């Protein structure tokens, strides 16, 4: 079986490693981005405990290198901008192991290592053709304009992100739904004086800062700001150092030490803040009669509240690999994955109540310490299939 992966995202790389030693399977990968751009991508992220469990069960060597290159994510705390504690969760009371905090560029380097010699970069997917027996041939183009037809594939896998070209060609891209929240992300490289460590959120009304330390003395700061309309844009003129103070500092009290530090860091690095929007798009698992498989954000885009985007991509990769190794189809992948993804998407959106326009950050945060929320969080963190489950 010959498999072509369009896009070297996390899910596709995990899938490739799952299939690397499988007799009779050949995997090739192609990416629009130059290799050096992939290596420098992103800011920082927190992998949830379910992602680490998936790696530990199915790819223990990859689990080991991720652990060695990251900081553990053990606690999740929520407070007001003045420092009043609203909720504190011990992840080890809900999961089998901690999550992990690391840079995006580090995660990409680690998951792409097994693809060395099997991936080509700087190739843009233009269209598809079929050979005489119905296998798919991707038509790619180099930056210089040369056309590349690498091979005919029994299965093409889309892992080229939320704007997937392969999904657009084979199934169409639906317009994402925006709930009306702007997102910001900043990697702070000089964070040695950061007054906190593990995963925390701080609310100033409905405006939220989320932050945690990263390896090598760095930290991530993420912000959420409700918008007046779901499709509203954030004006360039508003992206100023002064705006950071207005958004996150309480009007009638001094911010706590953590919030004051984050505001100062945002102001110091204001030109490097990345802006985006909270959004989600419908789940689609396959196309062209099962000859195309969608993984990661090419399959689904979910709101980031529970940090499940990349974690679900890892689950996608290990489950798809386990299914394909035993001769399964894209329908079998859907049977294993889609109900789980639907639960995670629904839970993530419901957990966004504190961020969405009209929500109550204080009451909603306190509720996240309740038994009902903890039960669902435990299900999220532990409900990962084991290798033996695929041998039946």
Superfamily in which the 2-176+279-385 domain is placed by CATH: FAD/NAD(P)-binding domain (3.50.50.60)
Cα separation of 318 and 332, whole Å? 13
**What is the full DSSP assignment across 149-184?**
----BSEEEE-S-TT-HHHHHHT-PPPPB--SEEEE
Helices (runs of H) and strands (runs of E) counted in the chain: 12, 19
Q: Long-range contacts of range 32-36, CB-CB < 8 Å, 24 or more positions apart?
A: 32/7, 32/121, 32/122, 32/123, 32/124, 32/125, 32/160, 32/165, 33/121, 33/122, 34/121, 34/122, 35/121, 35/122
pTM of the model: 0.96
The three-state DSSP-derived secondary structure of 369-384 is CCHHHHHHHHHHHHCC
Domain range list for the chain: 2-176+279-385
Per-residue pLDDT reduced to its tens digit, 108-163: 999 988 888 788 999 999 999 999 999 999 999 999 999 999 999 999 999 999 99
Per-residue pLDDT reduced to its tens digit, 191-239: 999 999 999 999 999 999 999 999 999 999 999 999 888 777 776 766 7
Is the confidence at residue 35, as pLDDT, over 80? no
Out of 161-175, 234-248, 376-390, pick the least confident.
Answer: 234-248
């Amino acid at each position: 079986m010959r498999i072509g992966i369009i896009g070297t995202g996390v899910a596709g790389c995990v899938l490739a490693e799952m299939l690397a030693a499988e007799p009779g399977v050949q995997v090739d990968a192609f990416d629009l981005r130059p290799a050096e751009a992939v290596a420098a991508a992103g800011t920082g992220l927190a992998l949830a405990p379910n992602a680490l469990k998936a790696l530990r069960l199915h790819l223990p060597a990859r689990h080991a290198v991720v652990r060695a290159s990251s900081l553990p994510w053990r606690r999740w705390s929520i407070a007001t901008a003045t420092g009043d504690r609203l909720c504190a969760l011990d992840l080890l009371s809900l999961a089998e192991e901690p999550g992990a905090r690391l840079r995006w560029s580090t995660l990409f380097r680690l998951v792409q290592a097994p693809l060395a010699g099997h991936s080509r970069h700087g190739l843009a997917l233009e269209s598809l053709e079929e050979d005489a027996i119905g296998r798919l041939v991707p038509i790619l183009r180099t930056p210089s304009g040369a056309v590349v037809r690498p091979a005919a594939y029994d299965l093409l896998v889309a892992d080229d992100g939320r704007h997937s070209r392969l999904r657009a060609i084979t199934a169409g891209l639906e317009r994402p739904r925006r709930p009306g929240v702007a997102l910001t992300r900043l990697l702070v490289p000089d964070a040695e004086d950061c007054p906190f460590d593990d995963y925390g959120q701080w609310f100033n009304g409905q405006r939220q800062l989320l932050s945690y330390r990263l390896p090598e003395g760095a930290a991530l700061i993420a912000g959420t700001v409700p918008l007046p309309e779901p499709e509203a844009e954030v004006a360039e003129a508003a992206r100023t150092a002064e705006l950071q103070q207005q958004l996150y500092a309480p009007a009638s009290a001094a911010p706590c030490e953590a919030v004051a530090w984050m505001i100062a860091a945002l102001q110091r690095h204001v030109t490097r803040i990345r802006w985006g929007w909270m959004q989600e798009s419908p789940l689609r698992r396959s196309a062209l009669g099962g000859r195309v498989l969608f993984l990661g954000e090419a399959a689904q885009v979910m709101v980031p509240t529970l940090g499940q985007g990349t974690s679900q991509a890892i689950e996608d990769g290990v489950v798809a690999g386990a299914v394909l190794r035993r001769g399964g189809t894209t329908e079998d992948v859907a049977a294993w994955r889609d109900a789980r993804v639907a639960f995670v998407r629904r839970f993530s959106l419901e957990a966004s109540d504190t961020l969405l326009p009209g929500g109550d950050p204080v009451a909603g945060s306190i509720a996240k310490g309740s038994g009902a929320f903890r039960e669902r969080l435990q299900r999220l963190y532990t409900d990962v299939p084991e290798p033996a489950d695929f041998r039946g």
